[in-house]
Structure 1
């Protein structure tokens, strides 16, 4: 069984950036990453991944159409046991508070600290074993 992380961001270069930073993990099969360019697409992917394979969702906040904050309650309703970490270039207190109120497990500022993210993923992988 594969372990999945879903990354939601409307910027197409995000996928290559994540694949580059986690290339060894992806190549070894330690986990798989699914990418969605929109919140509606992410919701479809989240529904398609079987429990308990999905261990983490990473979502940008500012996206056209449905924002990450608008998607958050929908994905939490669908997968209440899967943590969602929001990613934003605007990590102000109001955004952090709103994300937390909607059920986010955390907020990562852009540019992403991939060492910090790797620690979070390692923690989630240890919990899923």
Structure 2
């Protein structure tokens, strides 16, 4: 089974960074990435359907327009079971508390520790396969 991951971040180099860091997982079909450069674009992509179906969302918190926290609230209302990991350059206690209160699965700070992120992704894959 392939885990679809939607990465939402307004930084232009994020897509290449994730493809590079998850090269082996992409090659063996463990994950498939979808990318959105805004929360609005992410909602449009989710509404139109992504293949494979998205089972994990990684979203930046601070983006122009709709923030990642606003996106998280919308996702919780529409798809309460989809794991959402928030990514932020600001790992302050307030952002962490607010993200977790809204329903984030976890929160990671930039620069992203990809070893730790892969552990989180693998845990979600294991939970998905067990269900």
TM-score with structure 1 length normalisation? 0.92
Report what 1:101 is aligned to: 101
SS of aligned partner of 2:115: helix
Report what 2:74 is aligned to: 74
Q: Deviations over 1:84-127 (max 9, x none)?
A: 11100111111111111111111101000000000011111111
Report what 2:43 is aligned to: 43
| Cα distance in 2 for residues equivalent to 1:128 and 1:49 | 17
Report what 1:83 is aligned to: 83
SS of aligned partner of 2:125: helix
In structure 2, runs of 5+ residues without a counterpart are: none
Runs (4 or more) in structure 1 with deviation over 3 Å come to none
| Cα distance in 2 for residues equivalent to 1:50 and 1:81 | 18
Report what 2:118 is aligned to: 118
SS of aligned partner of 1:128: helix
| Cα distance in 2 for residues equivalent to 1:50 and 1:79 | 16
Cα offset for 1:50?
Answer: 6.9
TM-score with structure 2 length normalisation? 0.91
Report what 1:21 is aligned to: 21
SS of aligned partner of 1:116: helix
In structure 1, runs of 5+ residues without a counterpart are: none
Provide closer, same or farther for how the CA distance between residues 78 and 49 of structure 1 changes in structure 2, counting only shifts above 3 A. farther
Report what 1:60 is aligned to: 60
| Cα distance in 2 for residues equivalent to 1:110 and 1:16 | 16
Cα offset for 1:3?
Answer: 2.4
Greater shift in the superposed pair: 113-122 or 53-62:
53-62
